[in-house]
Amino acid sequence: FAGGCIIAAGHFSMAAPLLGIPEIPSFILGLTLIVAGTGLLKPNISAMVGDLYPQGGARRDAGFSIFYMGINLGGMAGPLLCGLLAENFNWHWGFSLAGFGMVLGLIQYKRGARHLGSAGLRPAHPVTAGRKPAPVLPLILAILLGMTFTLQKAASGGFVMSLVVIAEMLGAAVIGVAAIYFAYLFLGAGLSREEKKRLWVIVWLFVLAALFWSGFEQAGSSLNLFAYKLTDRSVLGWEMPASWLQSINPLFIIALAPVFGTGWTWAARRNADPSIAMKFALGLIALSAGFFVIAWGAANTSPENPASPAWLIVTYFLHTVGELFLSPVGLSAMTKLAPRGRVGQMMGVWFIAAALGNLIAGLVAGSLENLSPDALFWKVAMFTGAAGLIAVLASPLVRRLSGGNR
């Protein structure tokens, strides 16, 4: 709940220039608040969904598919409504709408909290029992204040730094944090042999997830640029905003998530439910197939000869299939495989993989300066396809390490 309040405050801060408040400081403060609030909200709400299915198994995968569908209801409305406000007025109106949306979500959360039972109240096996908790909050606040100061100095011209250099530094920092945390768990957390086996599975899923998101998040960069510059968006003489094509993925999620959720429980009843590792592999292969499609469609396009939006629609369909194989299953897997008392932390690790994938996606999209869109899409298709095939070959070993967790 606190995370949601902080996120709402961040959106309202980014909308503050509507009241005459200086734009750059309010924007940077808003981004900082959204980052902090997201760190509180996303891992914990995902862990709560896992608590609602204590029996685990395919029902938990199905539950996370339903949860994921709810996320994407907002994901579909956001680009449509905020993009429309941005193009007809300015982005500050879009930010304010996002803030009001979060407030409505918080009201609904409080109204429905009685249905959650004990989910999310306190860890069943707290790892800090009998120990003094580490002073994490002051450290987080210090980091956020440092980020805010650095970004404001850069925005005001206090110093100049390449965005590519910043992304590379952040990527190295993310990898370093993940490596240090995993090393601590293996060497200093007192885990049992079985827990360490499952932790190796989490490390493998972390790598596959980062690779997946590095391709999938081209939707907000290279694929969005392709939609804006090289796609025919005219409908009966009216040109739709390029941002509207971003709503195709959430629309497919809403349509397909119930199908996947039902499919997992149906397969489990027949002992045919694929393993976690195989689902991740299939997700990467579907992502690769989507990039092969858009690479084909991007060939020989130009501003004078734009591509049909059908190419992007098919691509987003395949990417959505891959996302449903990987993302809800990954959330569920973290709750199944996490060492005792560390479910929330493993959810945080899962979102670190997504953050790393987003950073890599931005760096990959920067290659458009030197590559044609179709050449870039072919490279991403080949890379993610190879990763998917390796994941297929490794899946029997990963399944053995995960014990009875499918």
Backbone φ and ψ of 231, nearest 5°: -120, 135
Residue 267: closest CA among 59, 38, 15, 5: 59
**CATH of the structural domain 2-125+133-401, one choice from 1.10.10.10, 3.40.50.720, 1.20.1250.20, 1.10.240.10:** 1.20.1250.20
Residue 305 pairs with which residues in a beta bridge? 302
d(CA 246, CA 225): 11
25, 12 contact by CB (below 8 A): no
**Average pLDDT score, the chain:** 82
Residue-level pLDDT at 197: 92
307: helix, coil or strand?
Answer: strand
Contacts of 142 (CB under 8 A, 6+ apart): none
Contacts of 279 (CB under 8 A, 6+ apart): 325, 326, 329
* Radius of gyration of the chain measured on its C-alpha atoms: 22
Q: What percent of the chain has pLDDT over 70?
A: 84
Tokens 């007025």 correspond to what residue?
89
37, 6 contact by CB (below 8 A): yes
The pLDDT tens digits of the residues spanning 2-51 come to 888 999 998 888 888 777 777 777 888 888 888 888 878 887 788 788 77
Q: Picking from 20-29, 75-84, 207-216, 276-285, which range would have the lowest pLDDT averaged per residue?
A: 75-84
- Buried/exposed code over 311-330 (b: 16+ C-beta within 10 A; e: otherwise): bbebbbbbbbbbbbbbbbbb
**In the predicted structure, residue 378 carries a pLDDT above the cut 70:** yes
Backbone φ and ψ of 307, nearest 5°: -80, 155
Distance from CA of residue 281 to its chain's centroid?
18
- Residue 268 CB neighbours (<10 A): 16
**In the predicted structure, residue 167 carries a pLDDT above the cut 90:** no
d(CA 203, CA 393): 17
Q: How many CA atoms lie within 13 A of 136 on its CB side?
A: 7
Tokens 């990527």 correspond to what residue?
171
276, 406 contact by CB (below 8 A): yes
120, 47 contact by CB (below 8 A): yes
- Total-model pTM: 0.79
Q: How many CA atoms lie within 13 A of 342 on its CB side?
A: 22
Residue-level pLDDT at 359: 86
Per the structure block, which two tokens stand in for 178?
A: 């993940």
What's the longest Cα–Cα distance across the chain?
Answer: 69
The pLDDT tens digits of the residues spanning 122-164 come to 655 555 544 444 555 565 566 666 666 666 666 566 655 566 6
